[in-house]
Amino acid sequence: MTDLLKRAREWLAQDPDPDTRAELSDLVERADPAELSARFGAKLEFGTAGLRGELGAGPNRMNRVTVMRTAAGLARVLGPGKHVVIGYDARYKSDRFARDTAAVLTGAGLHASLLPQALPTPVLAFAVRALGADAGVMVTASHNPPRDNGYKVYWGDGSQIVPPVDAEISAAIDAVGRVDELPLDAPGTLTELGEEIIDDYLDAITALPLGTARELSVAYTPLHGVGSGTLTGAFLAAGFESPRAVEEQRNPDPAFPTVAFPNPEEPGAMDLIFALARASEADLVIANDPDADRCAVGVPMGGGQWRMLTGDEVGALLGEYVIGQTSGDRMVATTIVSSTLLGKIAAAHGVRYGETLTGFKWIMRAGPGLVFGYEEALGYSVGGASLPVHDKDGIGAALAVAALAAGAKADGRSLLDLLDDQARTYGLHATSQLSVRVEDLALIAGAMARLRAEPVAELGGRAVERADDLAEGVGGLPPTDGLRYLLAGGARVVIRPSGTEPKLKCYLEVVVPVTGEVAEARQRASAELAELTEALRVTLGL
Protein backbone atom coordinates (compact mmCIF):
# COMPACT_ATOMS: atom_id res chain seq x y z
CA MET A 1 0.00 0.00 0.00
CA THR A 2 2.87 2.37 0.79
CA ASP A 3 4.31 1.88 -2.69
CA LEU A 4 0.92 2.51 -4.33
CA LEU A 5 0.51 5.75 -2.39
CA LYS A 6 4.02 6.85 -3.34
CA ARG A 7 3.35 6.25 -7.05
CA ALA A 8 -0.01 7.98 -6.82
CA ARG A 9 1.52 11.09 -5.22
CA GLU A 10 4.26 11.20 -7.85
CA TRP A 11 1.62 10.99 -10.58
CA LEU A 12 -0.49 13.66 -8.90
CA ALA A 13 2.46 16.06 -8.81
CA GLN A 14 2.81 16.04 -12.61
CA ASP A 15 -0.85 15.70 -13.70
CA PRO A 16 -2.03 18.80 -15.63
CA ASP A 17 -5.72 17.78 -15.62
CA PRO A 18 -7.87 19.19 -12.78
CA ASP A 19 -10.43 16.39 -13.23
CA THR A 20 -8.02 13.51 -12.70
CA ARG A 21 -6.12 15.46 -10.00
CA ALA A 22 -9.35 15.75 -8.03
CA GLU A 23 -10.11 12.05 -8.55
CA LEU A 24 -6.65 10.97 -7.47
CA SER A 25 -6.45 13.37 -4.52
CA ASP A 26 -9.61 11.80 -3.14
CA LEU A 27 -8.26 8.27 -3.56
CA VAL A 28 -4.96 9.21 -1.87
CA GLU A 29 -6.77 10.92 1.01
CA ARG A 30 -8.96 7.85 1.54
CA ALA A 31 -6.00 5.52 0.88
CA ASP A 32 -8.36 3.28 -1.08
CA PRO A 33 -6.31 0.14 -1.78
CA ALA A 34 -8.62 -1.42 -4.38
CA GLU A 35 -9.01 1.71 -6.47
CA LEU A 36 -5.33 2.66 -6.22
CA SER A 37 -4.30 -0.85 -7.23
CA ALA A 38 -6.67 -0.75 -10.21
CA ARG A 39 -4.96 2.41 -11.45
CA PHE A 40 -1.35 1.87 -10.36
CA GLY A 41 -1.00 -1.90 -10.07
CA ALA A 42 -0.62 -2.20 -13.86
CA LYS A 43 -0.34 0.05 -16.90
CA LEU A 44 -1.92 0.30 -20.32
CA GLU A 45 0.40 -1.46 -22.73
CA PHE A 46 1.17 0.17 -26.06
CA GLY A 47 0.97 -2.26 -28.99
CA THR A 48 -0.09 -2.50 -32.63
CA ALA A 49 -3.57 -1.38 -31.58
CA GLY A 50 -2.02 1.60 -29.78
CA LEU A 51 -3.67 2.29 -26.44
CA ARG A 52 -7.24 1.82 -25.32
CA GLY A 53 -8.74 1.93 -21.85
CA GLU A 54 -11.04 3.56 -19.33
CA LEU A 55 -10.66 7.26 -18.58
CA GLY A 56 -9.22 8.08 -15.17
CA ALA A 57 -6.05 8.80 -13.23
CA GLY A 58 -2.99 6.56 -13.25
CA PRO A 59 -0.92 4.54 -15.71
CA ASN A 60 -3.65 1.92 -16.17
CA ARG A 61 -6.12 4.56 -17.40
CA MET A 62 -6.44 6.91 -20.36
CA ASN A 63 -5.59 10.45 -19.23
CA ARG A 64 -3.44 13.44 -20.14
CA VAL A 65 -0.29 12.08 -18.49
CA THR A 66 -0.61 8.75 -20.32
CA VAL A 67 -1.20 10.55 -23.61
CA MET A 68 1.70 12.97 -23.17
CA ARG A 69 4.06 10.12 -22.29
CA THR A 70 2.91 8.24 -25.40
CA ALA A 71 3.42 11.30 -27.59
CA ALA A 72 6.89 11.79 -26.14
CA GLY A 73 7.76 8.16 -26.90
CA LEU A 74 6.49 8.53 -30.46
CA ALA A 75 8.55 11.71 -30.86
CA ARG A 76 11.73 9.92 -29.73
CA VAL A 77 11.22 7.12 -32.27
CA LEU A 78 10.46 9.50 -35.15
CA GLY A 79 13.03 12.16 -34.34
CA PRO A 80 13.07 15.96 -34.83
CA GLY A 81 11.84 17.41 -38.09
CA LYS A 82 9.33 14.64 -38.80
CA HIS A 83 5.69 15.42 -39.59
CA VAL A 84 2.73 13.91 -37.70
CA VAL A 85 -0.97 14.43 -38.51
CA ILE A 86 -3.34 14.30 -35.52
CA GLY A 87 -7.06 13.57 -35.56
CA TYR A 88 -9.68 12.98 -32.88
CA ASP A 89 -13.28 11.90 -32.42
CA ALA A 90 -15.96 13.36 -30.12
CA ARG A 91 -15.40 11.20 -27.05
CA TYR A 92 -14.70 12.64 -23.62
CA LYS A 93 -11.25 14.34 -23.61
CA SER A 94 -10.47 13.45 -27.25
CA ASP A 95 -9.85 17.05 -28.33
CA ARG A 96 -7.71 17.68 -25.24
CA PHE A 97 -5.64 14.55 -25.84
CA ALA A 98 -5.12 15.61 -29.47
CA ARG A 99 -3.86 19.05 -28.45
CA ASP A 100 -1.61 17.57 -25.75
CA THR A 101 -0.12 15.29 -28.41
CA ALA A 102 0.51 18.29 -30.66
CA ALA A 103 2.12 20.23 -27.82
CA VAL A 104 4.51 17.39 -26.92
CA LEU A 105 5.45 16.63 -30.54
CA THR A 106 6.14 20.25 -31.44
CA GLY A 107 8.04 20.75 -28.20
CA ALA A 108 10.28 17.85 -29.25
CA GLY A 109 11.04 19.53 -32.58
CA LEU A 110 8.52 17.76 -34.80
CA HIS A 111 5.92 19.34 -37.06
CA ALA A 112 2.30 18.57 -36.14
CA SER A 113 -0.81 19.09 -38.27
CA LEU A 114 -4.14 19.03 -36.44
CA LEU A 115 -7.38 18.12 -38.21
CA PRO A 116 -9.91 20.99 -38.07
CA GLN A 117 -12.59 19.26 -35.97
CA ALA A 118 -13.73 15.90 -34.62
CA LEU A 119 -13.73 13.68 -37.72
CA PRO A 120 -13.93 10.02 -38.77
CA THR A 121 -10.82 7.89 -38.39
CA PRO A 122 -10.57 7.27 -42.18
CA VAL A 123 -10.10 11.02 -42.75
CA LEU A 124 -7.00 10.87 -40.53
CA ALA A 125 -5.71 7.75 -42.28
CA PHE A 126 -6.22 9.49 -45.65
CA ALA A 127 -4.56 12.71 -44.46
CA VAL A 128 -1.32 10.96 -43.47
CA ARG A 129 -0.63 10.00 -47.08
CA ALA A 130 -2.24 13.05 -48.66
CA LEU A 131 0.03 15.36 -46.68
CA GLY A 132 3.12 13.19 -47.05
CA ALA A 133 3.43 12.87 -43.27
CA ASP A 134 5.73 10.48 -41.45
CA ALA A 135 3.07 9.28 -39.00
CA GLY A 136 -0.45 9.90 -37.77
CA VAL A 137 -2.26 9.79 -34.45
CA MET A 138 -6.01 9.23 -34.05
CA VAL A 139 -7.54 9.77 -30.62
CA THR A 140 -10.49 7.37 -30.54
CA ALA A 141 -11.86 4.31 -28.78
CA SER A 142 -13.94 3.36 -31.81
CA HIS A 143 -17.04 1.48 -30.55
CA ASN A 144 -15.93 0.97 -26.94
CA PRO A 145 -18.14 2.03 -23.98
CA PRO A 146 -18.54 5.76 -23.19
CA ARG A 147 -15.97 5.79 -20.38
CA ASP A 148 -13.16 4.60 -22.69
CA ASN A 149 -10.78 6.41 -24.97
CA GLY A 150 -7.83 5.34 -27.07
CA TYR A 151 -4.83 6.29 -29.18
CA LYS A 152 -4.06 4.77 -32.60
CA VAL A 153 -0.76 5.34 -34.40
CA TYR A 154 -0.33 5.24 -38.18
CA TRP A 155 2.92 5.14 -40.09
CA GLY A 156 3.81 7.10 -43.23
CA ASP A 157 2.11 4.59 -45.53
CA GLY A 158 -1.21 5.55 -43.96
CA SER A 159 -1.79 2.19 -42.29
CA GLN A 160 -1.62 1.23 -38.63
CA ILE A 161 1.73 0.27 -37.20
CA VAL A 162 2.98 -3.33 -37.02
CA PRO A 163 5.96 -4.93 -35.24
CA PRO A 164 8.69 -3.99 -34.57
CA VAL A 165 7.63 -0.33 -34.59
CA ASP A 166 5.11 -0.89 -31.78
CA ALA A 167 7.82 -2.35 -29.52
CA GLU A 168 10.16 0.55 -30.30
CA ILE A 169 7.51 3.10 -29.37
CA SER A 170 6.58 1.16 -26.23
CA ALA A 171 10.21 1.10 -25.06
CA ALA A 172 10.55 4.82 -25.76
CA ILE A 173 7.40 5.53 -23.73
CA ASP A 174 8.84 3.62 -20.78
CA ALA A 175 11.94 5.86 -20.88
CA VAL A 176 9.93 9.11 -20.62
CA GLY A 177 10.26 10.99 -17.34
CA ARG A 178 7.85 13.45 -15.76
CA VAL A 179 5.49 15.08 -18.23
CA ASP A 180 5.63 18.42 -16.44
CA GLU A 181 9.29 18.57 -17.49
CA LEU A 182 8.63 18.00 -21.20
CA PRO A 183 9.20 20.97 -23.52
CA LEU A 184 5.91 22.00 -25.13
CA ASP A 185 4.66 24.08 -28.08
CA ALA A 186 7.65 25.17 -30.15
CA PRO A 187 6.50 28.23 -32.18
CA GLY A 188 5.77 27.71 -35.87
CA THR A 189 5.65 23.93 -35.79
CA LEU A 190 1.87 23.41 -35.46
CA THR A 191 -0.45 23.65 -38.46
CA GLU A 192 -4.18 23.94 -37.85
CA LEU A 193 -5.61 22.28 -40.96
CA GLY A 194 -8.63 23.75 -42.70
CA GLU A 195 -11.73 22.20 -44.25
CA GLU A 196 -9.72 21.55 -47.44
CA ILE A 197 -8.46 18.22 -46.07
CA ILE A 198 -12.08 17.04 -45.74
CA ASP A 199 -12.77 18.14 -49.31
CA ASP A 200 -9.70 16.24 -50.52
CA TYR A 201 -10.92 13.11 -48.74
CA LEU A 202 -14.38 13.45 -50.29
CA ASP A 203 -12.84 13.96 -53.74
CA ALA A 204 -10.83 10.76 -53.28
CA ILE A 205 -13.69 8.51 -52.20
CA THR A 206 -16.24 9.91 -54.66
CA ALA A 207 -13.75 9.03 -57.41
CA LEU A 208 -14.20 5.35 -56.54
CA PRO A 209 -15.92 3.08 -59.11
CA LEU A 210 -19.53 3.84 -58.13
CA GLY A 211 -21.45 3.05 -61.31
CA THR A 212 -24.14 5.43 -62.58
CA ALA A 213 -27.35 4.46 -60.73
CA ARG A 214 -28.28 6.91 -57.99
CA GLU A 215 -31.97 6.34 -57.19
CA LEU A 216 -31.90 5.02 -53.64
CA SER A 217 -33.50 5.90 -50.31
CA VAL A 218 -31.09 5.38 -47.40
CA ALA A 219 -31.77 5.46 -43.66
CA TYR A 220 -28.61 6.23 -41.69
CA THR A 221 -27.24 6.44 -38.17
CA PRO A 222 -23.78 7.46 -36.93
CA LEU A 223 -24.65 6.06 -33.45
CA HIS A 224 -23.87 9.40 -31.76
CA GLY A 225 -20.46 9.44 -33.43
CA VAL A 226 -18.67 11.70 -35.89
CA GLY A 227 -19.76 10.16 -39.19
CA SER A 228 -22.88 12.14 -40.09
CA GLY A 229 -21.45 15.29 -41.66
CA THR A 230 -18.77 13.50 -43.65
CA LEU A 231 -21.07 10.73 -44.88
CA THR A 232 -23.78 13.18 -45.90
CA GLY A 233 -21.20 15.26 -47.76
CA ALA A 234 -19.92 12.15 -49.52
CA PHE A 235 -23.39 11.06 -50.64
CA LEU A 236 -24.29 14.50 -51.98
CA ALA A 237 -20.93 14.88 -53.75
CA ALA A 238 -21.41 11.47 -55.40
CA GLY A 239 -24.89 12.39 -56.65
CA PHE A 240 -27.03 10.48 -54.15
CA GLU A 241 -29.82 12.10 -52.18
CA SER A 242 -29.02 12.89 -48.58
CA PRO A 243 -29.62 9.89 -46.29
CA ARG A 244 -32.38 10.28 -43.72
CA ALA A 245 -30.71 10.11 -40.30
CA VAL A 246 -31.99 9.00 -36.91
CA GLU A 247 -32.45 12.39 -35.24
CA GLU A 248 -31.74 11.09 -31.72
CA GLN A 249 -28.36 9.74 -32.88
CA ARG A 250 -27.38 12.27 -35.57
CA ASN A 251 -25.12 14.53 -33.47
CA PRO A 252 -21.97 13.48 -31.62
CA ASP A 253 -22.59 12.67 -27.96
CA PRO A 254 -19.87 10.96 -25.88
CA ALA A 255 -22.50 9.57 -23.50
CA PHE A 256 -24.12 7.50 -26.31
CA PRO A 257 -27.48 7.89 -24.51
CA THR A 258 -29.73 5.79 -26.79
CA VAL A 259 -27.62 2.62 -26.94
CA ALA A 260 -26.31 0.25 -24.29
CA PHE A 261 -23.12 -0.25 -26.32
CA PRO A 262 -22.22 1.93 -29.37
CA ASN A 263 -21.45 -0.94 -31.71
CA PRO A 264 -23.75 -1.87 -34.64
CA GLU A 265 -23.14 -5.56 -33.91
CA GLU A 266 -24.50 -5.33 -30.35
CA PRO A 267 -28.13 -6.26 -29.57
CA GLY A 268 -30.42 -3.24 -29.66
CA ALA A 269 -27.94 -0.86 -31.26
CA MET A 270 -29.82 -0.90 -34.58
CA ASP A 271 -33.35 -0.66 -33.18
CA LEU A 272 -33.86 3.04 -33.92
CA ILE A 273 -32.46 2.90 -37.44
CA PHE A 274 -34.63 -0.07 -38.37
CA ALA A 275 -37.67 1.78 -36.98
CA LEU A 276 -36.78 4.77 -39.17
CA ALA A 277 -36.27 2.52 -42.18
CA ARG A 278 -39.72 0.96 -41.75
CA ALA A 279 -41.38 4.33 -41.27
CA SER A 280 -39.65 5.91 -44.26
CA GLU A 281 -39.86 2.80 -46.49
CA ALA A 282 -36.12 3.06 -47.14
CA ASP A 283 -34.29 0.84 -49.61
CA LEU A 284 -31.20 0.43 -47.45
CA VAL A 285 -29.95 0.93 -43.89
CA ILE A 286 -26.40 2.11 -43.23
CA ALA A 287 -24.83 2.56 -39.80
CA ASN A 288 -21.36 3.71 -38.84
CA ASP A 289 -19.71 3.04 -35.52
CA PRO A 290 -18.74 6.18 -33.52
CA ASP A 291 -15.46 6.88 -35.37
CA ALA A 292 -16.99 5.81 -38.72
CA ASP A 293 -14.32 3.34 -39.74
CA ARG A 294 -16.85 0.48 -39.74
CA CYS A 295 -20.00 0.19 -41.84
CA ALA A 296 -23.09 -1.90 -41.01
CA VAL A 297 -25.69 -2.65 -43.69
CA GLY A 298 -29.36 -3.57 -43.26
CA VAL A 299 -31.77 -4.74 -45.96
CA PRO A 300 -35.58 -5.08 -46.14
CA MET A 301 -36.98 -8.60 -45.99
CA GLY A 302 -40.57 -7.67 -46.84
CA GLY A 303 -43.55 -7.24 -44.54
CA GLY A 304 -41.79 -4.51 -42.58
CA GLN A 305 -39.01 -6.87 -41.53
CA TRP A 306 -35.32 -5.95 -41.81
CA ARG A 307 -32.12 -7.80 -41.20
CA MET A 308 -28.52 -6.77 -40.82
CA LEU A 309 -26.10 -8.35 -43.26
CA THR A 310 -23.02 -9.99 -41.80
CA GLY A 311 -19.59 -8.54 -42.43
CA ASP A 312 -18.79 -11.57 -44.58
CA GLU A 313 -21.90 -11.04 -46.71
CA VAL A 314 -21.07 -7.38 -47.33
CA GLY A 315 -17.43 -8.28 -47.92
CA ALA A 316 -18.34 -10.81 -50.61
CA LEU A 317 -20.74 -8.41 -52.32
CA LEU A 318 -18.29 -5.51 -52.32
CA GLY A 319 -15.38 -7.72 -53.33
CA GLU A 320 -17.13 -9.00 -56.44
CA TYR A 321 -18.45 -5.51 -57.20
CA VAL A 322 -14.98 -3.92 -57.05
CA ILE A 323 -13.51 -6.69 -59.20
CA GLY A 324 -16.22 -6.08 -61.78
CA GLN A 325 -15.61 -2.33 -61.77
CA THR A 326 -11.81 -2.48 -62.14
CA SER A 327 -9.29 -4.03 -64.51
CA GLY A 328 -5.64 -5.03 -64.75
CA ASP A 329 -3.47 -6.90 -62.26
CA ARG A 330 -5.37 -6.64 -58.98
CA MET A 331 -5.49 -8.18 -55.54
CA VAL A 332 -8.29 -8.55 -53.00
CA ALA A 333 -7.63 -9.63 -49.43
CA THR A 334 -9.26 -10.63 -46.17
CA THR A 335 -8.24 -12.27 -42.91
CA ILE A 336 -7.88 -15.83 -41.67
CA VAL A 337 -11.08 -15.49 -39.60
CA SER A 338 -13.25 -14.13 -42.43
CA SER A 339 -15.19 -16.26 -44.90
CA THR A 340 -13.30 -18.22 -47.54
CA LEU A 341 -15.78 -17.02 -50.18
CA LEU A 342 -13.69 -14.03 -51.30
CA GLY A 343 -10.90 -16.38 -52.33
CA LYS A 344 -13.28 -18.33 -54.57
CA ILE A 345 -14.62 -15.11 -56.08
CA ALA A 346 -11.08 -13.93 -56.81
CA ALA A 347 -10.15 -17.24 -58.45
CA ALA A 348 -13.26 -17.18 -60.65
CA HIS A 349 -12.36 -13.70 -61.90
CA GLY A 350 -8.62 -14.31 -62.30
CA VAL A 351 -7.70 -11.87 -59.54
CA ARG A 352 -4.95 -12.41 -56.97
CA TYR A 353 -6.10 -13.17 -53.43
CA GLY A 354 -4.39 -12.57 -50.09
CA GLU A 355 -5.18 -13.91 -46.63
CA THR A 356 -3.72 -12.15 -43.59
CA LEU A 357 -3.82 -12.09 -39.82
CA THR A 358 -6.74 -10.22 -38.22
CA GLY A 359 -6.63 -6.44 -38.43
CA PHE A 360 -6.38 -3.91 -41.21
CA LYS A 361 -2.75 -3.28 -40.38
CA TRP A 362 -2.14 -6.68 -41.97
CA ILE A 363 -4.74 -6.47 -44.75
CA MET A 364 -3.09 -3.31 -46.07
CA ARG A 365 0.18 -5.22 -46.37
CA ALA A 366 -1.31 -8.17 -48.29
CA GLY A 367 0.53 -7.32 -51.49
CA PRO A 368 0.77 -4.98 -54.49
CA GLY A 369 -2.27 -4.02 -56.53
CA LEU A 370 -4.69 -4.21 -53.60
CA VAL A 371 -8.08 -2.78 -54.63
CA PHE A 372 -10.27 -4.23 -51.90
CA GLY A 373 -9.82 -5.56 -48.39
CA TYR A 374 -12.26 -6.49 -45.65
CA GLU A 375 -12.57 -8.15 -42.26
CA GLU A 376 -15.67 -9.81 -40.89
CA ALA A 377 -15.99 -7.22 -38.10
CA LEU A 378 -17.69 -4.75 -40.51
CA GLY A 379 -14.44 -3.23 -41.82
CA TYR A 380 -13.92 -2.54 -45.54
CA SER A 381 -11.48 -0.58 -47.71
CA VAL A 382 -12.70 0.00 -51.25
CA GLY A 383 -10.47 1.16 -54.10
CA GLY A 384 -10.21 1.65 -57.83
CA ALA A 385 -6.74 1.89 -59.33
CA SER A 386 -5.54 2.19 -55.72
CA LEU A 387 -6.95 2.48 -52.21
CA PRO A 388 -7.57 6.10 -51.12
CA VAL A 389 -7.58 5.00 -47.47
CA HIS A 390 -5.08 2.42 -46.20
CA ASP A 391 -7.35 1.40 -43.37
CA LYS A 392 -10.97 0.42 -42.93
CA ASP A 393 -13.22 3.21 -44.19
CA GLY A 394 -16.87 3.24 -43.15
CA ILE A 395 -17.66 6.26 -45.33
CA GLY A 396 -16.15 4.95 -48.56
CA ALA A 397 -17.70 1.54 -47.93
CA ALA A 398 -21.12 3.12 -47.39
CA LEU A 399 -20.82 4.87 -50.77
CA ALA A 400 -19.86 1.64 -52.52
CA VAL A 401 -22.72 -0.30 -50.89
CA ALA A 402 -25.16 2.43 -51.92
CA ALA A 403 -23.86 2.31 -55.49
CA LEU A 404 -24.22 -1.47 -55.56
CA ALA A 405 -27.75 -1.31 -54.11
CA ALA A 406 -28.79 1.47 -56.50
CA GLY A 407 -27.53 -0.56 -59.46
CA ALA A 408 -29.46 -3.60 -58.29
CA LYS A 409 -32.61 -1.51 -57.75
CA ALA A 410 -32.33 -0.13 -61.30
CA ASP A 411 -32.41 -3.76 -62.50
CA GLY A 412 -35.42 -4.55 -60.33
CA ARG A 413 -33.33 -6.53 -57.86
CA SER A 414 -31.90 -6.24 -54.33
CA LEU A 415 -28.77 -7.04 -52.36
CA LEU A 416 -30.48 -10.22 -51.17
CA ASP A 417 -30.87 -11.27 -54.83
CA LEU A 418 -27.15 -10.67 -55.36
CA LEU A 419 -26.32 -12.80 -52.31
CA ASP A 420 -28.48 -15.59 -53.74
CA ASP A 421 -26.59 -15.30 -57.03
CA GLN A 422 -23.31 -15.78 -55.20
CA ALA A 423 -24.69 -18.77 -53.28
CA ARG A 424 -25.72 -20.47 -56.52
CA THR A 425 -22.36 -19.76 -58.15
CA TYR A 426 -19.92 -20.48 -55.33
CA GLY A 427 -21.96 -22.42 -52.77
CA LEU A 428 -23.63 -20.94 -49.72
CA HIS A 429 -20.93 -19.80 -47.30
CA ALA A 430 -22.47 -19.24 -43.86
CA THR A 431 -20.43 -17.89 -40.95
CA SER A 432 -20.98 -17.27 -37.25
CA GLN A 433 -19.04 -16.62 -34.06
CA LEU A 434 -18.79 -18.14 -30.62
CA SER A 435 -17.22 -15.91 -27.96
CA VAL A 436 -16.52 -17.17 -24.45
CA ARG A 437 -15.87 -14.45 -21.85
CA VAL A 438 -13.89 -15.43 -18.75
CA GLU A 439 -12.96 -13.74 -15.48
CA ASP A 440 -9.59 -15.49 -15.29
CA LEU A 441 -7.35 -15.13 -18.37
CA ALA A 442 -5.52 -18.28 -17.31
CA LEU A 443 -8.59 -20.24 -18.42
CA ILE A 444 -8.03 -19.10 -22.00
CA ALA A 445 -4.35 -19.98 -21.91
CA GLY A 446 -5.26 -23.35 -20.43
CA ALA A 447 -7.86 -24.04 -23.13
CA MET A 448 -5.39 -23.22 -25.91
CA ALA A 449 -2.71 -25.41 -24.31
CA ARG A 450 -5.16 -28.30 -23.93
CA LEU A 451 -6.25 -28.06 -27.58
CA ARG A 452 -2.61 -28.17 -28.67
CA ALA A 453 -1.76 -31.08 -26.39
CA GLU A 454 -4.86 -33.13 -27.28
CA PRO A 455 -5.46 -32.84 -31.06
CA VAL A 456 -9.11 -32.59 -32.06
CA ALA A 457 -10.16 -35.42 -34.41
CA GLU A 458 -13.73 -34.30 -35.15
CA LEU A 459 -16.17 -31.47 -34.50
CA GLY A 460 -19.92 -31.78 -34.85
CA GLY A 461 -19.61 -35.11 -36.68
CA ARG A 462 -17.11 -33.64 -39.19
CA ALA A 463 -13.63 -35.10 -39.40
CA VAL A 464 -10.75 -32.67 -38.91
CA GLU A 465 -8.87 -32.96 -42.21
CA ARG A 466 -6.15 -30.51 -41.22
CA ALA A 467 -5.21 -28.64 -38.05
CA ASP A 468 -2.95 -25.57 -38.27
CA ASP A 469 -1.21 -24.10 -35.24
CA LEU A 470 -1.01 -20.43 -36.22
CA ALA A 471 1.65 -19.86 -33.57
CA GLU A 472 4.04 -21.60 -35.98
CA GLY A 473 3.53 -19.00 -38.71
CA VAL A 474 1.49 -21.10 -41.15
CA GLY A 475 1.53 -20.24 -44.86
CA GLY A 476 4.00 -17.42 -44.53
CA LEU A 477 1.86 -15.56 -41.98
CA PRO A 478 3.52 -14.01 -38.92
CA PRO A 479 3.07 -16.22 -35.85
CA THR A 480 -0.06 -15.56 -33.79
CA ASP A 481 -1.80 -17.39 -30.97
CA GLY A 482 -4.52 -19.33 -32.77
CA LEU A 483 -5.67 -22.69 -34.10
CA ARG A 484 -7.37 -23.39 -37.43
CA TYR A 485 -9.29 -26.58 -38.18
CA LEU A 486 -10.28 -27.48 -41.74
CA LEU A 487 -13.19 -29.91 -41.56
CA ALA A 488 -14.83 -32.33 -43.95
CA GLY A 489 -17.30 -30.76 -46.35
CA GLY A 490 -15.45 -27.43 -46.55
CA ALA A 491 -16.25 -26.29 -43.01
CA ARG A 492 -13.69 -24.39 -40.97
CA VAL A 493 -13.15 -23.27 -37.38
CA VAL A 494 -10.59 -20.73 -36.15
CA ILE A 495 -9.97 -20.28 -32.42
CA ARG A 496 -7.96 -17.42 -30.97
CA PRO A 497 -7.79 -15.31 -27.80
CA SER A 498 -9.13 -11.78 -28.20
CA GLY A 499 -6.46 -9.11 -28.32
CA THR A 500 -8.55 -6.54 -26.44
CA GLU A 501 -11.00 -8.40 -24.18
CA PRO A 502 -10.95 -11.42 -21.80
CA LYS A 503 -12.55 -13.62 -24.45
CA LEU A 504 -11.78 -16.73 -26.43
CA LYS A 505 -13.16 -16.08 -29.92
CA CYS A 506 -14.15 -18.80 -32.37
CA TYR A 507 -15.03 -18.21 -36.03
CA LEU A 508 -17.12 -20.88 -37.76
CA GLU A 509 -17.92 -21.41 -41.43
CA VAL A 510 -19.90 -24.06 -43.30
CA VAL A 511 -20.30 -24.36 -47.05
CA VAL A 512 -23.54 -25.80 -48.44
CA PRO A 513 -23.99 -26.52 -52.18
CA VAL A 514 -27.15 -24.98 -53.64
CA THR A 515 -28.98 -27.63 -55.66
CA GLY A 516 -32.51 -26.32 -55.19
CA GLU A 517 -33.89 -23.23 -53.49
CA VAL A 518 -31.34 -20.95 -51.81
CA ALA A 519 -33.68 -20.59 -48.83
CA GLU A 520 -33.44 -24.35 -48.22
CA ALA A 521 -29.65 -24.18 -48.33
CA ARG A 522 -29.70 -21.31 -45.82
CA GLN A 523 -31.84 -23.33 -43.41
CA ARG A 524 -29.50 -26.27 -43.71
CA ALA A 525 -26.45 -24.05 -43.17
CA SER A 526 -28.04 -22.51 -40.08
CA ALA A 527 -28.67 -25.96 -38.61
CA GLU A 528 -25.12 -27.07 -39.38
CA LEU A 529 -23.65 -23.97 -37.76
CA ALA A 530 -25.76 -24.54 -34.65
CA GLU A 531 -24.58 -28.15 -34.43
CA LEU A 532 -20.95 -27.15 -34.94
CA THR A 533 -21.25 -24.39 -32.32
CA GLU A 534 -22.60 -26.77 -29.69
CA ALA A 535 -19.84 -29.29 -30.40
CA LEU A 536 -17.26 -26.53 -30.08
CA ARG A 537 -18.63 -25.45 -26.69
CA VAL A 538 -18.12 -28.97 -25.41
CA THR A 539 -14.63 -29.22 -26.89
CA LEU A 540 -13.50 -25.91 -25.35
CA GLY A 541 -14.66 -26.97 -21.91
CA LEU A 542 -15.12 -23.37 -20.70
Cα(133)–Cα(159) distance, integer angstroms = 12
Are residues 440 and 498 part of one domain?
Answer: yes
Any domain includes 128: yes
Return the bridge partners of 495, or none. 483, 506
Cα(141)–Cα(290) distance, integer angstroms = 9
Any domain includes 355: yes
The number of CA neighbours under 13 Å toward the Cβ of 313 is: 21
Are residues 297 and 328 part of one domain?
Answer: no
Are residues 126 and 53 part of one domain?
Answer: yes
By annotation, the residues acting in catalysis are: 142
Tell me the pLDDT tens digit for each residue of 332-343: 999 999 999 999
Q: Which of 263, 292, 308 is the last residue of a domain?
A: 308
Of the pLDDT bands very low, low, confident and very high (cuts 50, 70, 90), residue 489 is very high
Are residues 232 and 131 part of one domain?
Answer: no
Any domain includes 515: yes
Of the pLDDT bands very low, low, confident and very high (cuts 50, 70, 90), residue 500 is low
Q: Is the dihedral of CA 458, 461, 465, 466 positive or negative?
A: negative
The mean per-residue pLDDT over the stretch 344-364 comes to 96
Cα(230)–Cα(217) distance, integer angstroms = 18
The answer on pLDDT for 501 being more than 80 is: no
pLDDT for the residue numbered 312: 98
Any domain includes 16: no
Are residues 373 and 338 part of one domain?
Answer: yes
Any domain includes 66: yes
User: What domain count does the chain have?
Assistant: 4
Assess whether the previous peptide bond of 145 is cis (omega < 30° from 0). Answer: no
Are residues 220 and 333 part of one domain?
Answer: no
Angle subtended by helix axes 228-238 and 196-206, to nearest 10: 50
Helices (H) and strands (E) in the chain, counts: 17, 21
Are residues 241 and 149 part of one domain?
Answer: no
Are residues 157 and 96 part of one domain?
Answer: yes
The parent domain of residue 336 ranges over: 311-392
Any domain includes 37: no
The mean per-residue pLDDT over the stretch 305-321 comes to 97
Higher pLDDT, 500 or 367: 367
The answer on pLDDT for 1 being more than 70 is: no
The mean per-residue pLDDT over the stretch 506-531 comes to 96
pLDDT for the residue numbered 227: 98
Q: Which of 308, 340, 364 is the last residue of a domain?
A: 308
Are residues 230 and 161 part of one domain?
Answer: no
The mean per-residue pLDDT over the stretch 71-100 comes to 98
CATH number assigned to the domain comprising residue 229: 3.40.120.10
Query: In residues, how long is the chain?
Result: 542
The answer on pLDDT for 481 being more than 70 is: yes
pLDDT for the residue numbered 48: 84
Are residues 321 and 304 part of one domain?
Answer: no
Q: Are 444 and 502 in contact (CB under 8 A)?
A: yes
Are residues 319 and 282 part of one domain?
Answer: no
The model carries a pTM of 0.95
**Nearest residue to 343 (alpha-carbon basis) of 224, 282, 427, 234:** 427
Any domain includes 202: no
Are residues 266 and 250 part of one domain?
Answer: yes
pLDDT for the residue numbered 366: 95
Tell me the pLDDT tens digit for each residue of 376-396: 999 999 998 889 999 999 999
The answer on pLDDT for 503 being more than 90 is: no
Any domain includes 34: no
